[in-house]
Chains A and B, each alone.
Chain A
């Protein structure tokens, strides 16, 4: 038994050092030199203040901003320490009630808009931190944002189109726009 116990223990320790210490340290070292912005969270800085990450969504409820997707994180939406989805099943009355409330909020903020609401605007994301909305979701909100900011709808739609992403290699990535970047671009417009 000793002939098995000794190699088992020593090999476990040696491989722990190799795969659990040396390997992550090497990756960290190379990453920090070659891709420092990405390795540290794709953070956005304005006037010396950290104002977010390009990859992590933020909640918006003011009419002059594009709204992000609903977030199931608690206690507040887009809580970076509580990533995850609602895990509500498709038949769950709580899901239907939540969707109804989101539809009502979108309609109340934009009473004249009778277009069907794109599904991503009324469903909670998987991470609770989804940085994107679909292009359909952005165009749906264009009228409200334009009115609240005194801009022409065409101008806002142009801005959306300029930030549109998706369809890489024809099959990768769905048509979408990054909400925080879009709202920062709105704020930067004169």
Chain B
């Protein structure tokens, strides 16, 4: 790793950690219903919303009602987003006159954005109208993020309350997170991004004259659109000249800001954050990475504050940071080392003061190896799935890191809310394992962990590997699944495994060579995304309800402290053990075998 790679990591972590306490404290106050100074307008808007929607802000919900409200709200959101895509041709703000999105793609996209996945089987700049992007996709960037956060808050309340029957009010939680946390930060971030070159307009696409016209070849096709071939079977080509370039436009910055802040990741353009209009320079790259990490990291402080012991939050955060640094180091080292097959051709891949060097296939010069690999690590340890470089072209081990990040269940920072609630489930499993080892009833934060909590924790943890491995196994077994791969051999298997891992963890990044805009993949991945999101959420809310009802037991000499180095090590061990035991066999068939093939000569 280069000094620059360490320096960028240090800068990124320093800013993130500095923001943890103030933002965590702020979020805790928002979620505890306190009035927020300086946002009086938002408070008046909030009161108006409750009156208009017939919501009693003082009404509390038990976990079942909370879960039903969440599911109904998200199901309606999916229907609305599906309808919007199907109707976009007849709606305003469609200057390129895009047709309705086909049904299977619209289904996949609706589920994808509702579940905070933002898997994209379509090419946005030639598919989605401005209205669909801003009033459909971007809205769910806000609401799916808010949904994740309120589930984490509900679980925290379950730990903080005792002998209680309720865990909060879903409508109020959702509204307050959106109005007081997501909207203000997104507004500031969007404007900073515009100042750096991210576009924000409603213009039709612009045509510019190229400085040097470009000639290129295109296959000739007959009237039916089938490629024509010569007598010997070679495709017939014709030579064309392009004198102009079409530049896509649109309200990008407003969507880009919430795309990162809400750990969503769905690009306004096909190239996602590699596109210069989404991510024009190294500073915006840093800001986008910080926006991804900000809320998930700060929620650990909100957790500690709300359960009355901030050390608990710092312990969870410490476990996250340790794993993050290790994962980034592996990814960065692997990419900086470069591709031995290119070195054999005499290509210069060593870093110097004139270039970043390394494996630059699929990467942008302005980000280099450091900015690309740090972005890949933060986007896959969280549920963001944005990319500023193409993971499919990473070296085998470099590309395995994003894959493994997701397989760990996205608990290293993790998605907004989903990262914390998944990590707390691992904490429950960790204290359960420790309890078994020393022969005591496991407890966490003064709550006895009993059979019901362990059953629900097991469900929350095991759903993901179950649907990921089952889905990948089906895909490699049928022609429709195998047909999608773009690369031969082990790498093709990695593409399929990555797709289902990404969908099951609601990440949304891809080994993007895979052709996923087919009925099989749109449907299969849509189902996996839905189950991967809401199955664990219901289990987590059940745990929240059960914990809230319990009495708090006082700390005694036999209580295992859950804020020291021992607990941090236990937590990391639990996460790695569950992730590794489940997925190492699958990884051995993909990136590991590819790595051995690449370096065996």
**Chain A residues within CB distance 8 Å of chain B:** 4-12, 14-16, 18-21, 23-24, 26-28, 30-32, 34-35, 38-44, 49-62, 65, 69, 75-93, 95-96, 99-100, 103, 116-120, 122-137, 139, 166, 168-176, 180, 183-184, 187
Q: Are A172 and B77 in contact (CB under 8 A)?
A: no
Residue on B with the closest CB to A121? B347
Interface check B123, CB cutoff 8 A: yes
- A171 near B370 (CB under 8 angstroms)? yes
Q: Which one, B65, B72, B191, B388, contacts A34 given CB within 8 A? A: B191
**Is the Cβ of A38 less than 8 Å from the Cβ of B199?**
yes
Q: Which residues of A contact B365 (CB under 8 A)?
A: 69, 120, 125, 130, 132-134, 137, 174, 176
| Measured CA separation A43–B206 after assembly (Å) | 9
Residue of B nearest to A27 (CB): B254
Please state if B362 and A125 are interface contacts (CB–CB under 8 Å): yes
The stretch that binds A, out of B281-289, B475-483, B554-562, is: B281-289
Contact assessment for B368 and A90 in the assembled complex, using a CB-CB cutoff below 8 Å:
no
Q: A55-B197, A76-B242, A91-B489 are in contact. Are A126 and B364 (CB under 8 A)?
A: yes
Which residues of B in the span 329-370 have a Cβ within 8 Å of any Cβ on A?
338-339, 341-342, 345-349, 352-368, 370
Q: Tell me whether B474 is interfacial, beta carbon within 8 Å.
A: no
Please tell me which stretch of B244-252, B292-300, B309-317 contacts chain A, meaning at least 4 of its Cβ atoms lie within 8 angstroms of it: B244-252
Cross-interface CB contact of A41 among B8, B135, B249, cutoff 8 Å: B249
List residues of B (13-47) whose CB comes within 8 Å of A's CBs.
45
A100 to B, closest residue via Cβ: B345
Tell me if B435 counts as interface (CB < 8 A to partner A): no
Q: Is the interface of A mostly helix, strand, loop or mixed?
A: mixed
Count of B interface residues, CB-CB < 8 Å: 137
Query: Cα distance A169–B287 when bound, in Å?
Result: 14
Report which of A11, A51, A83, A126 forms a contact with B209, defined as CB distance below 8 A: A51
CA distance A123 to B323 in the complex (A): 31
Q: Is the interface of B mostly helix, strand, loop or mixed?
A: mixed
Could you tell me the distance in whole angstroms from the C-beta of B573 to the nearest C-beta in chain A?
32
Contact A59/B362 with A20-B136, A172-B286 known, Cβ cut-off 8 Å: no
- Whole-angstrom CA separation of A125 from B271 in the bound complex: 10
A89:B276 contact, CB within 8 angstroms:
no
Residues in chain A near residue B517, CB distance under 8 A: none
Pick out which of these stretches binds chain A: B51-59, B457-465, B530-538, B580-588: B51-59
The answer to whether A173 and B281 touch across the interface, beta carbons within 8 angstroms, is yes
Q: Is the CB of A28 within 8 A of B366?
A: no
* A123 CB → nearest B CB, Å: 4
Whether A85 touches B274, Cβ cut-off 8 Å, given contacts A24-B138, A41-B247, A92-B491, is yes
Given the interface contacts A59-B210, A171-B370, does A40 sit within 8 Å of B201 by beta carbon?
yes
Decide: A59 and B212 in contact? CB cutoff 8 A. Answer: yes
A61 touches B212 (CB 8 A): yes
Quick check: B387 and A127 within 8 Å, CB to CB?
A: no
Contact yes or no, A117 B361, CB < 8 A? no
A80 to B242, CA, bound (A): 12
Binds A, one of B151-159, B171-179, B401-409, B443-451: B171-179
Give Cα A23–Cα B256 distance, bound, in whole angstroms.
Answer: 13
Find out whether the CB atom of B211 lies under 8 angstroms from the CB atom of A118.
no
What CA separation (Å) do A183 and B512 show in the bound complex?
32
